[in-house]
Structures are given as C-alpha cells and as structure tokens.
Structure 1
Amino acid sequence: MNATYALRRQEIVEEEPPVAEMRIAKEFTRLTSMDINKFYEGLESHLHKLLQLFRLKRFEEVQDMTSLMESLDKDASNQRKKAAALQGLPWYMKENPSTLMKRCEPTDPGEDFIKGMVIGILLVVEDVKEPLPVSYNDVAIVIEEKIVMRHLGDVPNAFVNLMGLLYMLNLDYPKEMKYTFEVIQRLFMGIRSEMCTPRVHSLKNKLLS
C-alpha cells in the first residue's frame, strides 16, 4: 500500500466497468495461470451443501445469520443463494463480516460507512435491514477507506473482483477474515487446495462428504 498501489490503482482500478474487470481478470490469470471465473464454478459446486451446513449449525445468537436465511426462504433463486452463501460464510467460519461488508442507503453519506475500512465491500440498498435485496443501487469495493471500484452489480461479482485486486495489488487478506478468504482461495478457486488450515480442511471434508 504505497506508491506501487497508487500507480496500479491509477492504471487499472479507476477504469470504468467492464474495462476494469477485464483488466483485473487478465492480471489475475497472469499471476496465477488460472481463469478468475473459476471462482463462480467453485462457488456453484459447493453451493447446495454449504447452505445445508448453514442450516444445520446453530446461530441463535447471530441475528444477521438468522435474517439472512429467513430472507433466502422467501426467494431461493440461484443468485440469492450465491449471495447468501458468501454473506453467511464468515459467520460459519466463526468470523464477523461487519468489517468486510457494510450496507448503507442511497441517502446515507457513504464516507461515514467506509471510514476505517481497510478492505471491504459496500452495498448501497434501499433497505439496509434486507440482507438479500432484489437489486442494489450500487456495489463497490473499498480499499484503505477509498472506493476503488463500483457498479459491480451483485455480491458474487464484488467478491471475484476483490480477490483479483488482492492478488493484483499483492495485498494480504484481513486477519480478522483470514478463514473466509482462505475458503474462497482454496476451496472455491482451487488455489493450493492441499494447503488448507485445519479449520478450512474441516469444512472441505464436510463439503465433499
């Protein structure tokens, strides 16, 4: 996060979608020899079992998780399932996603919500109490309290571009969310899947059982 980051941001991140997304995908492939869209394949392959595991685990004291699953029950479209899986994953991995994902309404001052946000996703929605809205006013990626990409459409697309940026800019995963990002890296994207930590390896066994 220095002159190198500033230069890369100027070169790539300030481009408007879909140009920025294409450049991120190309750079990710250069760095990993892997198509970044493998993220979607991995998420899709584990989607049913992951949501099943969410429902089997007790989350009585986590209202956000309860609200998430109740919202999914109202409309279990495939796109909403993907958003629910990604939003619920941190809770399942015993991490708090409040530092990674924030919601605000269009009339809220966005700078107040991204203050202190090192790496994360900002969801601009009409109703912040609805965890799975029908549509988003905006979906943006935040790095060091600055919105670096916006108009990403939905939660899965925000995650895939965030992963691309982390690799492209050589940024570490947030320590408080290390297991969540490890699941995405190892299990969804298949990058060094044999190097899972015990907690992620346990989830891998459950997903494959």
Structure 2
Amino acid sequence: MDKTFALRRQEVVGEAPMIADFKTRWPALFHVREVSAEFKRITTIHLQSTFFSRVDAHSANLMKAYAKKGGVQGRKIKTIMAPMTQDVDEGAQTAIAETVFGIFVIRAEGAEPGDNPVDVGIVLEGVEVMSNLGNVSLAVVMLLGLVYALNLSYPQELRYTFEVLQKIILELDGHKLSNKAQVLKTLLSR
C-alpha cells in the first residue's frame, strides 16, 4: 500500500470514485492497519494513539459539556446518538443500504446496553466498508481515518462533530475553528 499511495491518492482526489468501486479496486485499504497507515501518510500523525490519548485528556470536560446541553441542541444530540433497534436480518440491511455515512452496531436479540455487540462497522454510500471493529470508539477513529483516506466531505448534520474530532482532538488545522467549535474548545480548556 505504501508503494501505491501516490497512484491511489491521485485517483481519490482527481476522480472521486464511488466507494463501492474504490473498495473493489483497493480492498486492502479497508482494514484497520491500512486506514491508520494511510492517515499517517497523509497527516504524519499516528491516528489511533493520538486520538485515544487526546480523548482521554478531554473526556472529563467533554462529559461535563455534554451533560449541560439542553433544549433544541440537547434533543438534537440525543437524536443523533440514539441507537436504531431493528430486526438484524431485514431492518439492519435496509438501514445500511440507505446510510450515506455512518457507524452501525448490531447487538444480539435481547442484549442489554452494556453487552458487547455482535458487530460494529462503518457504512459509506450504502456500502459496508468495515466490520468486526469491536467497539464504537474504534469505529469513530476508523471513520475519521477513512474521511482522510478517501477525501470525503463531512456530512452537513455532523460537520461540527467531525470538526471537533479533527481540529480539537487531533489538532489538525486547529487554528481555524467555527464559533461552535471555539466555544467547546474554551469549555475543554477550563
């Protein structure tokens, strides 16, 4: 993958192929190790260790900020975070096919919220691009890595979430923040 980086990057940036086509052409990229390596080739930053260590550093203040959210914003956050509960065979496959950008978590029937999931994965353009990630935290990191590797734009409804992950957590291009991200950065520095 290292030797073909320039070719792959030219294809991603210049041609912007559909995810299904790109996954067929470059299947090795859609593995945890390769997403991390591709992210490092693009940014020179170790994706997983940097992300998790910085989330750990901010976690207490993030929890405080999230707990204070109420009103329209609080309801919007809860809606985005709400799990979908559907029949694994039919509903999940339909939901995956209709998802443009997301993380899926499949739990065994009758599982409690704290139980380990059966599967955790990533969907882009209705295509399951990664699965068996084990937990949502790793899925978030891999999704962020795929955004960079595939030169994707953040979905409009999640733009601030990904701006925070990119600019505050990973400190990539962190000097240009939206007002909302700046407010959160100020809260986290207290």
TM interval, shorter chain, is 0.7 to 0.9
TM-score normalised over the length of structure 1: 0.72
2:172 matched to 1:186? no
Q: Which of 113, 118, 136 is residue 137 of structure 1 equivalent to?
A: 118
- Secondary structure at the aligned position of 1:172 is classed as coil
Please give the TM-score of this superposition, normalised by the length of structure 2. 0.78
Cα offset, 1:32, TM superposition: 0.7
Residue 97 of structure 2 is aligned to residue 97 of structure 1: no
2:41 is equivalent to residue 30 of structure 1: yes
Q: Which residue of 1 aligns with 2:182?
A: 201
What is the SS of the residue equivalent to 1:190?
coil
- CA distance in 2 between partners of 1:154 and 1:51 (Å): 19
Q: Given residue 97 of structure 1, which amino acid in structure 2 is its aligned partner?
A: I
Hey, what does 1:122 align to over in structure 2?
104
Q: 1:129 to 1:184 in 2, by over 3 A?
A: farther
1:104, 1:124 within 8 Å by CA — same for their partners in 2? no
Matched to 2:56, the amino acid is E
Q: Shift of the alpha carbon at 1:109?
A: 3.8
**Which whole-Å CA distance do the structure 1 matches of 2:151 and 2:85 have between them?**
26
- After superposition, the C-alpha distances for 1:99-146 in whole angstroms (9 at most, x for unaligned) are x9755454544221123211101110136996x432111001001111
Quote the RMSD (CA, aligned, Å). 3.1
CA spacing shift, 1:123–1:61, aligned 2, 3 Å: same
Q: Is the Cα–Cα contact under 8 Å of residues 19 and 127 in structure 2 kept in the other structure?
A: no
Contact 1:104 1:122 in 2 (8 A): no
In structure 1, how many angstroms separate the alpha carbons of the residues matched to 2:118 and 2:60? 28
Identity value in percent:
26
2:24 paired residue number: 10
**Which residue of structure 2 lines up, in the alignment, with residue 155 of structure 1?**
136
2:24 aligned with 1:41: no
1:56 to partner: Cα distance? 2.5
CA distance in 1, matches of 2:168, 2:94: 34
Q: Is 1:105–1:128's contact at 8 Å kept on the other side of the alignment?
A: no
Contact 1:118 1:144 in 2 (8 A): yes
C-alpha distance in 1 between matches for 2:181 and 2:73: 23
Greater mean alpha carbon deviation, residues 32-41 or residues 1-10: 1-10
Counterpart of 1:142, as a letter, is: V
Counterpart CA distance in 1 for 2:173 and 2:114 is: 34
Q: SS of 1:192's equivalent?
A: coil
Aligned 8 A contact 1:122 1:139 in 2: yes
User: Would you say the 8 A contact 2:20–2:127 is kept in 1?
Assistant: no
Cα distance change on mapping 1:31 and 1:61 into 2, 3 Å: closer
